[in-house]
Amino acid sequence: MEPRTPQEGEYQGVRNDLFTPGDFDRGASFLKEVAWQFIKIWFFLSPWPWPSRIKASLLRLFGAKVGKGLVMRNRVNIHMPWKLTIGDHCWIGERCEILNLEPVTFEDHVSLGHDVYIAAASHSIRSRTMAYANKPILIKRGTWVATRTMIGAGVTVGENCVIGAGSTVLRDVPDNSLVAPSRSTVIAQRVLTED
């Protein structure tokens, strides 16, 4: 079904009610997604400290590529394990969220501190209908993403980086970089275009 365009006299700004997912591919059947929700609630979102080896096995069962030596803490929210690749000896802290509507890849020895938000999903800031702007994320080997950091859609973080606590990363980061959060500032005016 095609999204309806606003009629004369109607509100001409952002219209969330006109949102459609477009050609977005969820990558799994409805039954697989339902099954994942139950597994996620019991083994990943639970405060119970299930062993990391059990979580790694369950992720593999649902299509994730997981290397050896994964350490995964409690209350981790992974939306689509079939779109997730985790290298060897990675560490994922408590309450991390991986919103992977597109593929997310962590190479070997990547560490995510607690409360890290990885968002391979977004919406176009110029779209009146909040059209998707989902893009993959790659975090290269040896990188530490500190607590309460957000990594946005389409970002590649280079090797051996440290992303400081509370950072928001919306652009690629070169190898061996240190990233620190800065004050929030207005950077541009939002201009809407027709879809």
Task: Give the tens place of pLDDT for each residue, 160-179.
Answer: 999 999 999 999 999 999 99
Alpha-carbon torsion, ordered 73, 76, 81, 84, to 10 deg: -70
Q: Identify whether 85 is part of a domain.
A: yes
Q: Identify whether 172 is part of a domain.
A: yes
Would the CA dihedral through 169, 132, 154, 139 be positive or negative? positive
The catalytic residue among 79, 89, 114, 123 is 123
The answer to whether 71 and 91 are in contact (CB under 8 A) is yes
Record the tokens describing residue 24, joined without a space: 């977005």
Instruction: Read off the amino acid at residue 188.
Output: A
pLDDT confidence of residue 181: 86
pLDDT confidence of residue 121: 95
pLDDT confidence of residue 190: 63
Q: Identify whether 95 is part of a domain.
A: yes
pLDDT confidence of residue 69: 98
Record the tokens describing residue 129, joined without a space: 């209908």
Known active-site residue 89: no
Write out the residue range of the structural domain in which residue 33 sits. 27-179
The percent of residues in the chain predicted with pLDDT above 90, rounded, is 76
pLDDT confidence of residue 73: 98
H-state helical runs in 114-155: none
DSSP state of 64: -
CATH number, domain containing residue 124: 2.160.10.10
Q: Identify whether 184 is part of a domain.
A: no
- Cβ-Cβ contacts under 8 Å for 112 (sequence gap 6 or more): 90, 91, 92, 93, 96, 106, 118, 145
The answer to whether 179 and 145 are in contact (CB under 8 A) is no
User: Total domain count for the chain?
Assistant: 1
Q: Identify whether 163 is part of a domain.
A: yes
Q: Identify whether 5 is part of a domain.
A: no
Q: Identify whether 165 is part of a domain.
A: yes
The answer to whether 54 and 74 are in contact (CB under 8 A) is no
pLDDT confidence of residue 174: 96
- Mean pLDDT, the chain, rounded, equals 92
Residue 194, pLDDT above cutoff 80: no
Q: Identify whether 190 is part of a domain.
A: no
pLDDT digits (tens, 9 = 90+) for 20-66: 888 889 999 999 999 999 999 999 999 999 999 999 999 999 999 99
The answer to whether 116 and 93 are in contact (CB under 8 A) is yes
- Cβ-Cβ contacts under 8 Å for 114 (sequence gap 6 or more): 73, 93, 94, 95, 96, 147, 148
